Amino acid sequence: EDGPVHLRLPPSLLMSDGIGGALRTGLRQVARKVRPNSEIDERIPVLDLFAIAGNAGVELIRGTIRSVGSVSIDPFLCGRRVRLQGRRHITIGRGALLEDGAVLYARGGGALVIGPSCVIGKGSVIELASGIRHAGGDFRLGPGSSLAEYCYVGAAGDVRIGARVMMGQFVSLHSENHEFAPGTPIREQGVTRAPIIIQDDCWIGAGVRVLAGVTIGSGAVVAAGAVVTGAVPSNSVVAGVPARLIGERS
């Protein structure tokens, strides 16, 4: 008895200019329907592109399912074990990517907005409220901005990030601080809050800490490991603990 017939194209055929080029064009068109600015490096083998596209397809199915019944969540790419808590406060733009283990915690807060084509990296956490003693703030991430793996954003005092901002791994933003006057246990003194604002087109290096009340001007670069406690001028380069001006983008 004849068994099922499996059609398998040899890698050499898939890599040929004609078929390979057609496949790249098709994948690029599909990608741009989800993320309009998508590009594909011609050096990536076609077989690898198929694997990447297949994984993205599964993520898009997950994100589409998560968006059903919500007027504020567009179809997005959703990794495994992604948690959306307080969905009625959450807005996710078209083509955004939430990687494996990302957490959006919006309960007890205001609005948590992820713009179109944004990326929230693996294991990253964004929370609007740190507990039930105080209502939380707002978080807004502009179009095309990204947080790399294992970032943390505490938005109790509001965090606003502009468009096309890049953040490296393990960046943390803290818009809330503890009072620590002598004579009273710190835990009993309450907190102070102030917004963090990061304007368009900034690059925040890996491991940076940004504290409450800081504004980082457009086009600024913050070197890896810096602790930012004060204002950063537009198009400047800062580094160190605390962060200090070391140059400017010409």
List of domains in the chain: 11-71 (no CATH), 79-248 (2.160.10.10)
Annotated catalytic residue, options 6, 134, 174, 178: 178
CA distance 187 to 194: 19
Q: What is the per-residue pLDDT for 13?
A: 44
187-222 pLDDT, tens digit each: 888 888 899 999 999 999 999 999 999 999 999 999
CA distance 228 to 55: 37
Using 50, 70 and 90 to split pLDDT, how confident is the model at 174? Answer: very high
Q: Would you state the torsion angle of the CA atoms of residues 226, 230, 232, 238, taken in this order, to the nearest 10 degrees? A: -30
pLDDT at 7 over 50: no
46-98 pLDDT, tens digit each: 778 778 778 888 888 888 888 876 767 888 899 999 999 988 899 999 889 99
CA distance 225 to 241: 8
The pTM (predicted TM-score) of the whole model is: 0.82
CA distance 174 to 195: 9
Closest CA to 153 of 109, 91, 94: 109
The packing angle between helices 17-34 and 46-67, to 10°, is 20
**Whether 134 is catalytic:** no
- What does the block give as tokens for 209? 């800490």
- What does the block give as tokens for 76? 């997005």
